Copies of this chain bind each other. A is one copy, B any other.
Amino acid sequence: MTKAKNRLKIGILGASGYTGAELLRLLAGHPQIDIALLTGERQAGKSLAEVFPHLAGLDAPGLIKIEDADWSGLDAVFCCLPHATTQEVIAKLPKALKVVDLSADFRLADIGVYAAWYGHEHRAPALQKEAVYGLTELMREAIRPARLVANPGCYPTSAQLPLIPLIEEGSIDADDIIIDAKSGVSGAGREAKQGSLYSEVAEGIHAYGVAAHRHAPEIEQGLSNAAGRPITVNFTPHLMPMNRGILSTIYVKLADGATADGLRATLARRYEGEPFVKVVAKGVSPATRHVRGSNLCMIGVFADRMKGRAMVISVIDNLVKGASGQAIQNFNLMSGIAETAGLEQAPMFP
């Protein structure tokens, strides 16, 4: 790869988890950046090769503690820290730094909703006002000039990309939306938890966080904005044995006169020319393996056998479009770089 001349220096805070690894994998192919800083509290002092042997070939510094970071010369940071901690860390960063935050800490515009779902008061309410929600295709103009972007959650990305245009168009009943989502295990992070052990996940499936998952208010925030009134949805996530991928099967009630074909046309029109959001042809069933490793979101629409209803199926790679890929897409946009830089890899199958 030929590197560009005037490159930007970026840092990754909390680089030792899966979203950190994925940022590094993708940024390795980004022609206009240099990786200048990696932090990791428990892994400080280690080389990248020790933390991630698959990334041994990257030109990147070793991991250090966040308090040892030298921010001078940096253009932007990607922040992959745990929630709550994130608010405190970002509040202390130099104001000149662009920040793409991959945590949930700045996604909810209403800090009361944040407190209700996260069990504590927001620790950086002023920053919350500044933060721009980074659902790239739908908030591009707000993201471009932003300094702090709250990168969307994986489930909310998979749900909002198909639903917001349909609500805005008035094609579906925003009060009758059921989102049955299936996720791979990397979404649970790299922390050692019994529930993420191979033997607890392989060869099975179960729903979790039923009617209680923190991505519900994030989805509802986006859909409410689109509808112009408060929307409540059913969002039911399931954990299944795959490393990467989210498939959301969304059950909707059609507005009067709307049809499944019409929904598909609406989405196709809305995302025409978009490099990363693709509406598939009638009859094609999107599969997570069609987007694995890529920043793509594929969306299919099906007529229901129940009159007046339809299904919308979307797939993303939770670590790419659902996290690190969209973060880079936002960073590119904020930095005046081609939006697709570092994100042009084709999906990997099998």
A contacts, CB < 8 Å to B: 1, 18, 21, 24-25, 28-29, 52-58, 178, 180, 182, 184-186, 190-194, 196-208, 210-211, 216, 232-234, 236, 238, 240-245, 247, 249, 251, 278, 280, 284-294, 296, 298, 302-307, 309, 311, 313, 315, 319, 344-350
Contacts and interface: CB of A to CB of B under 8 A. Distances in A.
Give the most central of A234, A344, A350: most B CB within 10 Å: A350
Contact of A205 (B182, B216, B233, B319): B182
A117 B264 CA distance: 27
Nearest to A27: B346
A181 to B, nearest CB: 10
Number of copies: 4
A240 B29 contact: no
A205 B245 contact: yes
Contacts of A233: 305-306
Contacts of A243: 198-199, 202-203, 350
B54 A347 contact: yes
Contacts of A190: 194, 197, 199
A190 B201 CA distance: 12
B52 A349 contact: yes
Contacts of A182: 182, 205, 238, 240
B346 A58 contact: yes
Give the most central of A278, A296, A298, A305: most B CB within 10 Å: A305
A53 B289 CA distance: 9
Contacts of A206: 247, 285-289, 315
Given A240-B240, A309-B234, A311-B236, A346 B29 contact: yes
